[in-house]
Amino acid sequence: MPTTESPAHVVIAGGGVAAVELALALHDLAGPRVRLTLVAPQPDFELRALRTAEPFSADHARRHSLADLAGRIGARLVADRVLAVDGDRHELRLAASGILGYGTLVLATGARHRTAYSRAITFTGDTESQDYQGLLADLDGHWTRSVAFVVPPGTTWPLPLYELALMTARETHAMGIDDARLQLVSPEATPLALFGPEASQAVADLLARANVTFTGNTYARPDAEGRLQLLPGGERLDAERVVALPTIEGIPIGGVPGDDRGFIPVDPDGRVRGLADVYAAGDGTTFPVKQGGLACQQADAIAELLAAAAGADVTPTPFRPVLRGRLLTGRGAQFLEHPLAGGAGAGARPELRLWSAHRKVDGRYLSPWLAELDGAIAVDDLDDLDDQEPAVDIEVPLSVGRDAMRLDPYSPLSPR
């Protein structure tokens, strides 16, 4: 890691979850020891995780100016896109502004979405709120009686689909509709299997109370007409409408290695294999679970390494993923009023507990930043935020140690 420059010049490519967490962390840990440059193609940070609430008018995705963030932490913001990395020269080629040198580079460029099923509403968190409202209107008008929520193979963070299913159930209940058939189809062995058996059972109970049928260990594959066939059984999916999550793949950047799906290969410390002084964090890496909270934890681990290398008094702690999920279930429906509880016992048992609103994507630095911007709340008061929405937060320490890169997101974890 080159620390010959003084202060060390760290360039962060990206303006999303991992990039913002990393910038805030590095500013806090290394201060003036590091000169920071952010390269992001869009002017705002947007918390897309809240998009699932929008069709139900329960909340909305927030946007925050990256220029303001850069000003606050003394970073330079370059409004541009990285096209290629020249590892030997320590240079980036940008789409509009030419060459930019770096001492250390962190790629936090995320992933791109692909539609898995042509006939489905694919919920990417981008623009489909209106489509979804159309679906709700069709349910309300009895034009649609059955909806399947389908997790395509390869999607490793299925939680948004559970939110959509549960909030749709709540909405149909509020419409006075009692004959809508809602089902969730997933390659997962059990609902939100990644959170472990106890949390998974609690989510299964939640689905059952909402009358959402769960079919696990099942892959949906489109036939020539785009209708979905369920594997391994081979039967056709019985639903008038389908809502799906996208599959995701890496965004190719010249000079940066990628696996067969374009994800950047990193070691457990976030170092990009084969490129000196280049790190990567977030959805764009080969870390198997693509989730915002985990992206932040990757960013924090890299920030500690870089701060220590720049001479700050920081002892880097290795990346140990802890999975936290905040499941929006909708407001006011009786069958959703019971929060999940229990399981927080001793040892390695999963822990279920309430978590504050701004931790939907949970970042050590990102969450207080968002809380402060959204409500002008003092950071110290963050834990006192009283969230009125019924929501379920699940925290599961993944004691996977060195096996973190080999997580299977579809199978229940046995906590060790």
Does 23 sit near ligand FAD (CB under 6 A)?
Answer: no
Tabulate helix, strand, coil % of the chain (nearest 5).
30, 25, 45
For the bound state, the minimum distance from the C-beta of residue 157 to ligand FAD, rounded and expressed in Å, comes to 5
Cα–Cα distances (Å) from 90 to 93, 100, 104, 105, in that order, read 10, 9, 8, 8
Does 397 sit near ligand FAD (CB under 6 A)?
Answer: no
Interface residue with ligand FAD among 361, 370, 382, 391 (CB under 6 A) is 361
Which listed range, 152-160, 224-232, 343-351, 381-389, lies at the site for ligand FAD (CB under 6 A)? Answer: 152-160
For the bound state, the minimum distance from the C-beta of residue 347 to ligand FAD, rounded and expressed in Å, comes to 25
Q: Provide the sign of the torsion angle of the four alpha carbons 189, 192, 196, 200, taken in this order.
A: negative
In 3-state terms, what secondary structure has residue 89? coil
- The amino acid present at 303, given as its one-letter code, is A
For the bound state, the minimum distance from the C-beta of residue 324 to ligand FAD, rounded and expressed in Å, comes to 7
Interface residue with ligand FAD among 110, 187, 196, 390 (CB under 6 A) is 110
Interface residue with ligand FAD among 103, 152, 158, 160 (CB under 6 A) is 160
In 3-state terms, what secondary structure has residue 49? helix
The nearer residue to ligand FAD, 14 or 55, going by C-beta atoms, is 14
Does 55 sit near ligand FAD (CB under 6 A)?
Answer: no
d(CA 156, CA 46): 21
The nearer residue to ligand FAD, 159 or 210, going by C-beta atoms, is 159
Interface residue with ligand FAD among 9, 27, 35, 51 (CB under 6 A) is 51
The nearer residue to ligand FAD, 241 or 290, going by C-beta atoms, is 290
For the bound state, the minimum distance from the C-beta of residue 48 to ligand FAD, rounded and expressed in Å, comes to 5
Judged by CB under 6 A, the number of residues near ligand FAD is 39
**CB neighbours of 202 closer than 8 A, spacing ≥ 6?**
340, 342, 343, 352, 392, 394
Beta pairing partners, 272? 266
d(CA 380, CA 365): 12
Interface residue with ligand FAD among 12, 18, 193, 366 (CB under 6 A) is 18
The nearer residue to ligand FAD, 44 or 140, going by C-beta atoms, is 44
In 3-state terms, what secondary structure has residue 396? strand
DSSP 236: B
The nearer residue to ligand FAD, 125 or 350, going by C-beta atoms, is 125
The residues in 218-277 that bind ligand FAD, with binding defined as CB under 6 A, are 251, 253
The nearer residue to ligand FAD, 128 or 277, going by C-beta atoms, is 128
- Count CB neighbours of 382 within 10 A: 18
Q: Which residue is nearest to ligand FAD (CB)?
A: 16
Closest-CA residue to 15 (of 358, 321, 305, 282): 282
For the bound state, the minimum distance from the C-beta of residue 246 to ligand FAD, rounded and expressed in Å, comes to 8
The nearer residue to ligand FAD, 64 or 145, going by C-beta atoms, is 64
Structure tokens at 333: 């429906």
Location of structure tokens 């290969």? 265
The nearer residue to ligand FAD, 127 or 334, going by C-beta atoms, is 127
Interface residue with ligand FAD among 11, 12, 17, 151 (CB under 6 A) is 17
To 10 degrees, the CA torsion angle through 167, 123, 63, 59?
A: -10
Does 363 sit near ligand FAD (CB under 6 A)?
Answer: no
Location of structure tokens 């692909």? 114
Q: What is the chain's alpha carbon radius of gyration, rounded to the nearest angstrom?
A: 22
d(CA 91, CA 85): 6
For the bound state, the minimum distance from the C-beta of residue 236 to ligand FAD, rounded and expressed in Å, comes to 27
Binding mask 270-309 for ligand FAD (x = CB under 6 A): ------------xxx-----xxxx-x--------------
In 3-state terms, what secondary structure has residue 19? helix
Beta pairing partners, 243? 121, 149
d(CA 54, CA 66): 23
Which listed range, 16-24, 176-184, 256-264, 382-390, lies at the site for ligand FAD (CB under 6 A)? Answer: 16-24
Structure tokens at 379: 């950071």
The residues binding ligand FAD (CB under 6 A) are 13-19, 39-42, 48-49, 51-52, 81-82, 108-110, 123-125, 157, 159-160, 251, 253, 282-284, 290-293, 295, 326, 360-361
